[in-house]
Every structure is written in C-alpha cells, then in structure tokens.
Amino acid sequence: MTAFPKLFSPFKIGSLSIKNRMVMSPMETHLCDKEGFVTEEIIAYYKERALGGVGYITLENTAVNPAGRVNDGMLCIHDDKFLPGLQRLTDCIHAAGGKIVLQLSHAGKEALPYFTGLQPVAPSAIPSPLTKEMPKELLVEEIRDLIAKFAEGAGRAVKAGFDGVEIHMAHGYLVNQFLSPESNVRTDDYGGDTARRSRFAREIVESIRRMVPEDYPVICRISADEYTDTGIKLGESREIARILEKAGASAIHVSACNYASAFFNIPCYYLDEGCFVHLAEGVKAVVKIPVLTVGRILSPIMAENILQENKADLIVLGRTLIADPYLPGKVKEGRLEDIRTCISCNRCIESISDKKLVCTVNPYIGKEGVSAITKTTRPKKILVVGGGPAGLSTAQALSTRGHNVTLWEKESQLGGCFRYASLAPRKESLGKFLDYLISRATKTNISIQLNKEASAESIKQFDADVVVLAHGARHVPVEIAGAKSNGVLNVKNAFTTADSLGNTIAIVGGGPEGCELADFLASRGKRITLVEMRRVLGIGLVAHPRYHVYERLRKMGAQLYVNTKVTEIGHNYIVISRRREADQKLEGFDNIVVPTLHQPNNELAVSIQAFVPEVYTIGDAVEGRTALEAIAEGAEIGGKI
C-alpha cells in the first residue's frame, strides 16, 4: 500500500474521473507555433507528463480571442482551424492513459500591442502595472461578445476531446481585472460591489454551462489574494467563489497575485513551500465543490498532509513536473530519492521571454520527442574530470548509454561551486538537487575517485578513449589596489569560514555570488556592506529571486551601494568611487571579500591532445556558465559520445 493514501486516491470533478489527486498546472511553454497552433513538440511535452502518471493535465492558457494573446507563444482556440491540432493532442494524451483540461484565457490589458497590433482592452482605462500601456475600456456590447468567445472556446474544447475546461480568472488577466477593485472602477452593472464586479465571470460560467454537456467540468482559477494594497483579499474571494459555485462552476482552483505582485506569483526559493495553501483552505471552508491548491508544493509529504487536513481536494504541481514529469509514478513507487528536484530558480519562467522553455535541472525539457538516451553499441573507456554539475551530468548520461566511466574530483566531496551556492539561505532545494545528482551517479557503474587531481601525466597513465574536462574555471582575483597585500578573502573562503570572519564584512561585487554570500552572512548577524559597479544588484539571477534577495538584505540592514566602484583596499577599509561624487573611505571592517573572475581553463586540454583520441572541455572550463548551461551541456555531450 502506498505511503500516500490520500494523494493516490481517485477523485471526480463532474464527469472527469482521475486516478490520483495530482494536477498539472497550466504553464506557458512557447512550444506552439507563432500562430498558436499545436506542434509535435508540444504534444511530446504533454505526452511525457501523461506517461509520468499525473491525475490530469491542464493545458497552458489558450486564447479565446486573438486580441487577447499575451504573446506569440500562446495557444489559440478562437477558430475551428485550431481543432485538428488540439484533437491530435487530446488523442495522444488519452492514448498515454492521461486526462487533459484546456484553460480558456484572455490577457485583457496585459496583451501586448506590439504583438497584437491592437490597443488592449480592460474593464476600466487603468494602465497595465507591467507594460504601462493604457487599455480601452470595454463597452457593454463588447463585454457580451467576449463572454460568447469564452463559451465558443469551451464548445471547441468539447469537440477537440478535452476532458474539461478551466477559465483563467487569475494573475491579472482579463477576468481577474473585472473581479478586482484595483482594476475595475466601472459604474455600470459590471463594476461596483463584489457581486457586480463578479458579473463578467459569472456570465462566462453560465454561458459555458449552456454550451457544454451536463456535468462537463468547468473549473475557475482565481487569485484569492492579489497581494497588493487595493486588490482582492481572501475575504472577498470567498464571496466570489460562492458566486461562481452558484453559477455552475465544477471546482475552484485557488492561486494568487496579479501583474503588480508578479514577484510572488511564481514563488521562487525565497518563498515558503505551500505559500498559497492557506488561501485554498479559506475558500474550501465556504464552498461545497472541489478546491485545488497550488504554490511551490515540492514535497509529496506536504501534499499528503494538505489533503489529510482537508485544506484542499487536489494538489496542483507546476514547475515540479517541468523538472521531473515522472514524479507521480516515483512517489507511488516510494522512490522519493529518484525525484529530480525542482529548485524554484524560475529559469523556466525567464526562458519564456526568450521563446524557449528550459529548466536548470531537466536538460531534456522541450526535447521530449528527440532526446531519448540510447544505448551505445561501442562502449568506450571514458574519464570525466570534475565532479560539479557539468561533470556529474556528463558522467550520468555516459554511464546510462553503457560506457565505462570514471570520474575524478580533486576535492573530498562532489558538487563543485554548486555546493557553496546551496549554502545560502532559503536555497535548501539546491542542496536536495545536488544530492539527487550525486545519488544518481553513485547508483550507476561510474567509478568515482575523490581527492584525485588530474594532470597530463595521470591522464596519460589512465589511457582513456575519451576525456571530458569539467574541471571548472581558473579563478583569478579581481585586481584592486591593495587587495593582494591586505589578506582579502574570496567567496568560497568566506562561505567556509563564516563563523571566524568577525562581525563587520565588506563584499566587493553584488552579482549572484556576492548577494547570496551577503544574505548568508547577514542571516548570521554580520553587518554587511555590499558594493556593486553596475546599477542593479544580483544581475545574473532571475528577476524573482533578485527582487527577494535585495529585499532581504535591505530589511537586515545591509549597506548597499550600486553604480559604485572600489578603487582601493586597505587593512580594514575600502575606498569607493561614484560618478560626480568625491571618493569615500569606508572603515572598520573585520574582513573584506573580493570576487574572482571565472576565466577559461584550457591548459590541461592542450597538454593531453597529443595522446587522448577525443577530448571535450565543458562547463566553466570553457567560460562562465550557469548551472542550467553546465548541466545541459553535460547531458548533450554525454548523449552523443
């Protein structure tokens, strides 16, 4: 019997029967084509999640009107011409044993005019908090036309074989704009008190109910708290949920936030796991229909407890299923250690703006139809030098393919620089992912040798067919007057000797390493001064964690300088220089931390070219890499040797 009895109990929403309580969240992928048609890539992506065993999939937001597309990565259902592709998708999901619900959406004032060629629309002429574009206030007849568009979209979803529809009423999109007092200041019957602001949403549900078969699932996704001063709060959302239930909603999917509170909308590692569960619990207390909860639910233990405590009926998983589509099956089989952990870094979210879905921990995302690792027919003796993310990723792929793999790591433990990144506050998920990488390596036939530093001579003696150099960058100290003679530390030293650094620390360089070190030390009561040459701290981090680490440092009283250069370092002082200001001497530091430059490390590769048939250099040894790039590069090299 499974250790998660509630999580793996069957459930029904209307006519939709599902085998467990896990639901895949609607998440934009940019895997459709620019016109919004289904592609083979998007079918392969969702098929993989269906095979992974999730209860049902919610297809990403799909436009009921071309003017409501937020960008050219948004699927469409506003015309019958989209039906053949959508039908192929549902057929494939059903053949894989899955169920799939389509999310109907209109972006309202968040639709981009440069893309649609039209002025965006909204309940009221209030600019978008993100784009600052002024929308056109909808006329009543235009509102009625949009209600019909939602109903027509639902009708097409039925024809295409979807098992239900979800109406996107959250996250600052059009229906949420009507519901919110922050964005709806109309004085007619579609604005005013809660009931009138809910009229647009209510009439969409009622119109869809008339369009679809009886008991067909019509789910409403709401932002139960917009996390803004004047937006919707939970008390009002409970009233909205009751209105939607009476209108015919089959279930309420409880999310949070709008575009003005976007840094909380997709919770990164600085926010608590299960951070929106209390909202679902509040809504569930006032409705009789099922309630879905979402918001950084990473642990199956947490998911089971939420269900056991009756805080929600279904658990919505988003980025966790990007990271590991087979998570449901692994949980059911008790293989929790084999789950590829989502680290909530939000690189996937950032990647959408670049028109390509990626994932730090899953290098195969978006390549499901073409990235299967195949067994080699000609096994080789391969040496991988370096046990950081790039080396571990490469070694794992090579071993899976059937090669004879040995990995050398010069330190006493695996992980490389990634281990220090996982020490920073709120980044426990990085440590869990590193444990996963190491566990996967140790479970294979990889021969791992620690405290083993590679040299040309030792590699020659090893006599490998292939050598993959993932031994990291050369770390060269930044040249600042006085730095060499005054015993400055680098970031690694500071992380490993935090307790003996003293109480007052200056950190030169406010990139990701500097910010996370500052957070690490400030959380231990150290007084921090952080100096960054560029105009923003944390450049290199995704916007969500960059915002939160800045707020954390500010609230802990760190002295933060941007657009500021350190020109001199003394025994216990630094001299800073800012444009159009006199240089300033900051004194009284117990220790000063100076970053290192990550430079190419190709000397070893050059020295072994003469006697190793195949040599590959990857990761930071080529140039500075993020963990995402290092892991992806390792998987790619490992898959083709």
**Same domain as 593, residue 518:** yes
Query: For residue 574, how many other CB atoms are within 10 A of its CB?
Result: 27
Return the SS3 of 258.
coil
**Same domain as 507, residue 457:** no
The structure tokens listed for 6 are 């509630």
Taking the CA atoms of 18, 24, 25 and 31 in sequence, report the sign of the dihedral they define.
negative
The predicted pLDDT at position 372 comes to: 65
Query: For residue 133, how many other CB atoms are within 10 A of its CB?
Result: 16
pLDDT digits (tens, 9 = 90+) for 161-210: 999 999 999 999 999 999 999 999 999 999 999 999 999 999 999 999 99
Domain assignment present for residue 125? The answer is yes
Domain assignment present for residue 342? The answer is yes
C-alpha 463: how far from chain center: 42
Structural domain count of the chain:
3
**Same domain as 515, residue 421:** no
Where does residue 184 fall: left (phi above 0), alpha (psi -120 to 50 degrees), or beta otherwise?
A: beta
8 A C-beta contact, residue 354 and residue 30: no
Catalytic residue among 45, 46, 173, 259: 173
8 A C-beta contact, residue 253 and residue 279: no
8 A C-beta contact, residue 306 and residue 284: no
How far, in Å, CA of 638 to CA of 616, rounded? Answer: 10
**Same domain as 217, residue 72:** yes
Find the CATH number of the domain harbouring 433: 3.40.50.720
How far, in Å, CA of 66 to CA of 75, rounded? Answer: 10
Domain assignment present for residue 105? The answer is yes
The structure tokens listed for 365 are 């995302």
Find the CATH number of the domain harbouring 242: 3.20.20.70
Which of 197, 220, 192, 212 lies closest to 58 in space, CA to CA?
220
Domain assignment present for residue 367? The answer is no
How far, in Å, CA of 586 to CA of 566, rounded? Answer: 10
Active-site residue flag, 259: no
**Same domain as 507, residue 436:** no
**Same domain as 104, residue 191:** yes
**Same domain as 92, residue 23:** yes
The predicted pLDDT at position 373 comes to: 76
**Same domain as 170, residue 269:** yes
Q: Express as a percent the part of the chain with pLDDT over 70.
A: 99
The predicted pLDDT at position 382 comes to: 97
Domain assignment present for residue 357? The answer is no
**Same domain as 558, residue 623:** no
136 lies in which domain range?
11-352
Q: Where are the beta strands (DSSP E) in 375-422?
A: 381-385, 404-408
8 A C-beta contact, residue 619 and residue 627: no
Which residue is listed with tokens 């619900």? 101
Find the CATH number of the domain harbouring 561: 3.50.50.60
Alpha-carbon distances of 515 from 238, 426, 551, rounded to whole Å: 39, 13, 11
The predicted pLDDT at position 114 comes to: 85
**Same domain as 499, residue 469:** no
Domain assignment present for residue 368? The answer is no
**Secondary structure letter of residue 285 according to DSSP:** T
User: Which residue type sits at 81?
Assistant: K
**Same domain as 348, residue 318:** yes
**Secondary structure letter of residue 481 according to DSSP:** B
* pTM for the full predicted model: 0.95
How far, in Å, CA of 249 to CA of 244, rounded? Answer: 6
Domain assignment present for residue 366? The answer is no
How far, in Å, CA of 189 to CA of 187, rounded? Answer: 7
Domain assignment present for residue 300? The answer is yes
Mean pLDDT of the chain: 95
C-alpha 160: how far from chain center: 30
How far, in Å, CA of 532 to CA of 563, rounded? Answer: 6
**Same domain as 427, residue 326:** no
The number of C-alpha atoms within 13 Å of 505 and in the hemisphere containing its C-beta is: 34
Report residues of the chain scoring pLDDT below 50: none
The predicted pLDDT at position 460 comes to: 97
